[in-house]
Amino acid sequence: MSTATFTSAQTAGLSYTENLGRAARAFLQALLAITPEAKPAAAKKRDVASIAQLYRLARSYDSVQPNLAQELRAIAARG
């Protein structure tokens, strides 16, 4: 004959505040364990394409509205 034993953490008899405290600690632990991820390569490509598009748009407004062209270049430089 064989026997099997099963041990588990005792959770019966915990009060509501103890359960709430454990849940809050687990939530904070999970929240602080997350690290920000780097931008994917596709997003970087989109950024470069968007900046290039702003420069092309600014070039088209150079002779008509120079202030708008300058503002578009300033926006592209920030990105």
How distant, in Å, are the alpha carbons of 38, 47, 72, 75, 78 from that of 62? 36, 23, 10, 15, 19
- 73's CB contacts (< 8 A; 6+ apart) are 54, 55, 58
Q: What is the pTM of this model?
A: 0.43
Domain positions in the chain:
41-78
Show pLDDT as tens, one digit a residue, over the chain (79 residues).
567 776 656 656 678 999 999 999 999 888 888 766 666 666 667 788 888 999 999 999 988 999 999 999 998 888 6
